[in-house]
Amino acid sequence: MNLNDLQFFVASVDAGGFAAAARRLGVPKSTVSKRVAMLEDSLSARLIQRSSRRFVLTDVGTAVLDHARAALIEAEAAQAVVRERQAEPSGLVRVTSSIPTAQGLLARHLPTLALRYPRLQLQLEVTDRFVDLVQEGYDLALRSHRAPLPDSGLLQRRLLVEAIVLVAAPAYLASAPRLVQPQDLVDHAGLLVGRQATVWRLEASGAAFCEVAPRPVMVANESVVLMEAARAGLGIACLPEPLCEPAFASGALRRVLPDWHAGNITTTAVMPHRRGQLPAVRAVLEFLVACTAATSPD
């Protein structure tokens, strides 16, 4: 059976005759009638009773019609799947992110994305200021946050949840006061993220938490600066765990009070609704989702 013959058969029934079907399909009437006849021959059954005045489905034709329509729908769906898979994302995608996210996530993965989709033009704006996606024309923003993002009417997709851990250099720990419980931190040098952030709120399993203020020796609102200060032995810092993993592996840093952490940092992809439906934007988002799947809680 030829699938195209089913199409001519369904078109003839829907149009009420071969002539009307031929006009709809843009082919000669003889082509339509010939293809329907070929379908009947392949099935060894008369589907349509036709004469100069009558065009009526037979009982078998009525039964075949529903299946023919279903077959055409499935064929169209199969074609749509192939077209969607073969369609290569293209065009400009404007992305904005904070400096730590750009350094820790995008710097590793965006080159691979660009190589995978050469017709995609990526434009990354790295800034720690708040960006209005709609007003400034951005397609996608990656935002790192401790508290849930407000309901802004934007599409949100969580990418990462990273623990904030206490770290220090082995040389510092060897010469520093004894450190067994969080309260001991008051006797230790603290590397802080801000002048007002003098108290660390620590959490442990079982919903236990405590607040402690280390002795401030350095303030910097950039994680890499604080990590290097910790590596140099200046004191203890609260940093995202993935950022410190290479230093853990090399022995340059150690976890301090490993049963405790200072909360989590969540990285969320945010985009306007309309832009989030564009194939190029979806391709970038799904790529980032796949890159972060190993460390995502989902």
Give the pLDDT confidence score for residue 206 in this predicted structure: 66
Per-residue pLDDT band at 185 (split at 50, 70, 90)? very high
Give the pLDDT confidence score for residue 166 in this predicted structure: 96
The tokens for 89 are 């994302």
pLDDT tens, position by position, 18-34: 999 999 889 999 999 99
pLDDT tens, position by position, 230-256: 999 999 999 999 889 999 999 999 999
pLDDT tens, position by position, 147-172: 888 877 888 999 989 899 999 999 99
What domains, with CATH codes, occur in the chain?
3-86 (1.10.10.10), 91-156+265-292 (3.40.190.10), 162-264 (3.40.190.290)
Q: Which of 82, 234, 102, 120 is CA-nearest to residue 173?
A: 234
Q: Which of 68, 113, 73 is CA-nearest to residue 93?
A: 113
Contact between residue 172 and residue 235 where contact means Cβ atoms under 8 Å apart: yes
pLDDT tens, position by position, 197-219: 889 999 987 667 899 999 999 99
Give the pLDDT confidence score for residue 195 in this predicted structure: 84
Per-residue pLDDT band at 122 (split at 50, 70, 90)? very high
Backbone angles phi, psi at 103, to 5 degrees: -75, -40
Of the chain, the percentage scoring pLDDT greater than 90 comes to 53
Distance separating alpha carbons of residues 71 and 106, to the nearest angstrom: 45
> What is the side-by-side order of every strand in the sheet holding 260-261?
209-212, 200-204, 260-261
Give the pLDDT confidence score for residue 297 in this predicted structure: 44
pLDDT tens, position by position, 41-78: 999 999 998 877 778 899 999 999 989 988 888 888 88
